[in-house]
Amino acid sequence: MHNKQRRSIPSSVLTKYKKEFQSVSLSPQTIQRCAPKVTTVTNQTNKLMHSIKEAIEKSGLKDGMTISFHHHLREGDFVFNQVMAVIREMGIKELTLAPSSLTNTMNEMVIECIKDGTVTHITSSGMRGSLGEFISHGGMDNPVILRSHGNRPRAIESGELKIDVAFLGVPTSDDYGNANATVGKSVFGSLGYAKVDAQYADKVILLTDHLVPYPNTPISIPQTQVDYVVEVEAIGDPNKIGAGATRFTKNPKELKIAEKVKDVIVHSPYFKDGFSFQTGTGGAALAVTRYLASEMEEKQIKASFALGGITKPTVDLLEKGLVEKVLDVQDFDKGAAEGMARLENQQEIDASFYADPSNKGAVVNQLDVAILSALEIDTNFNVNVMTGSDGVLRGAIGGHQDAATAKLTIISAPLVRGRIPTVVNDVTTLITPGKSIDVLVTEVGVAINPQRKDLIAIFERIPQIPVFTIEELQQKAEKIVGIPEPLQFTDRIVAYVEYRDGSILDVVRQVKEFEEERS
């Protein structure tokens, strides 16, 4: 069976999902929300537990339940491993692990939990490193469900993802559960992903390394949603929150791409007073932000808001008065996290507000310009940010599908990476359909989606922006690195890729072992 995007999805999977991917334009629907089961607290009972174990026991966590974590602490997270160690020790099995995402620091623990049956199901934004290898080589019986940051709150609100117990690391809390992430030893700014879990999980356990007197303010997660609080030595290493993400690139190719991205934005009809943008992270994205800032300063253009996972350079724009508001669902470095505590116009938003297609209007609906990355982009502008050139899981959907709803969605990517082409005939895994991509920017030139005739007409007249067809770019890439051997997969599905509306968009299959190929 092939779905509308010509992805090969077995009919059994289409049946299971009921919703097959239809379109990147979603029609209004009326949806009955679900809600948690709340165990009421009607007195001053101290919610403070002596240990993680005591909190887990009181929560009633048992075999077969669903647990969640946030990934705000990224590679500096100490919460996941601490909690899972206790759960394993307690012998609780067959859990569904439903974090907002999984970072490398969690990988070994997840693998051990799968091996001993503690975890039998996973849903995540993505996975990388050893865990990606493990899953792609068939390490788990049940396929992983991959959801974007906007699709996750949608699934939670609709009841498709019912969280029994949420374990949420917070940089500060009082003993009744009022928490924020702007004060403490391990500040990370916005609790955007965690806020959704706190609101919808039946039981909510906070872990903090900075307990303060009641009542703690400002309140990002309120006492009304929290069952237990556990004080731990450390929730994380704040120096590792932004590891890798916020380094300013010196790579000439990346700088060249960044400059071209800036050129595309500046010459587009969206670059005017009050425009809005999401630049994302990574060296090239930070360079775009810097180049854009100069243009804004020069042309006296002020943005209404900047969105997404926020970094220090975006906060600098706010402080320079080049951006009116910064909306943070997540902060990628200390500078951004500290800005949230200090700057009135840096506003914490939750993941539903950010990108959920099933509320009364997410902020991505208002977005003018989004700059996104790609591992692969094909001649239909379909993008893969999930599987590598070896077919192995090594990425995350993040907000990719969600932010691609912007009026001008730009994919910023090198034509090739080493011996591996970025522009291909068919993406290995479809994450964001080409219908929602407008422009590809590479170091050699740009390609505009043929459906955007308006943009083609504009950029034809701008000599400093060399425009190619996407097929031309694909051929240029092929010329450099040749035609790669087709990847070999087994029939076994290791992951489902959902579109942001919860429909099934693609599947990831187990990679063929070298031994198998030979036999």
Interface with a copy of itself (CB under 8 A): 25-45, 47, 157, 176-177, 204, 213-215, 217-219, 222-227, 274, 304-305, 324-325, 327, 344-345, 347, 349, 352-353, 356-363, 365-366
What are the backbone angles phi and psi of residue 480, rounded to the nearest 5°? -75, -50
* Minimum distance of a copy of itself from residue 213's CB (angstroms): 6
Residue type, 431: I
Residue 343 to residue 402: CA distance in whole angstroms: 26
* Minimum distance of a copy of itself from residue 42's CB (angstroms): 4
Residue 295 to residue 262: CA distance in whole angstroms: 9
Residue 438 to residue 429: CA distance in whole angstroms: 19
Please enumerate in sequence order all residues whose Cβ is within 8 A of that of 281, keeping only pairs 6 or more positions apart, or say none: 245, 246, 309, 311, 332
Residue 316 to residue 294: CA distance in whole angstroms: 12
* Minimum distance of a copy of itself from residue 259's CB (angstroms): 29
**Which residue, 218 or 321, has its beta carbon nearer to a copy of itself?**
218
**Which residue, 322 or 392, has its beta carbon nearer to a copy of itself?**
322
Is 373 in contact with 412 (CB distance < 8 Å)? yes
Residue 86 to residue 52: CA distance in whole angstroms: 7
**Which residue, 326 or 444, has its beta carbon nearer to a copy of itself?**
326
* Minimum distance of a copy of itself from residue 441's CB (angstroms): 24
Please enumerate in sequence order all residues whose Cβ is within 8 A of that of 138, keeping only pairs 6 or more positions apart, or say none: 490, 492, 494, 510
* Minimum distance of a copy of itself from residue 307's CB (angstroms): 9
**Which residue, 366 or 475, has its beta carbon nearer to a copy of itself?**
366
Task: Give the 3-state DSSP-derived string for 113-137, with helices as H, strands as E and coil as C.
Answer: HHHCCCEEEEEECEECHHHHHHHHC
* Minimum distance of a copy of itself from residue 416's CB (angstroms): 36
* Minimum distance of a copy of itself from residue 28's CB (angstroms): 5
Task: Using DSSP bridges, classify how beta strands 172-173 and 179-180 pair: parallel, antiparallel or unpaired.
Answer: antiparallel
**Which residue, 61 or 286, has its beta carbon nearer to a copy of itself?**
61
The residue whose two tokens read 């537990």 is 49
Tokens of 117: 């049956």
**Which residue, 38 or 480, has its beta carbon nearer to a copy of itself?**
38
Residue 303: count of CB within 10 angstroms of its CB: 26
**Which residue, 25 or 464, has its beta carbon nearer to a copy of itself?**
25
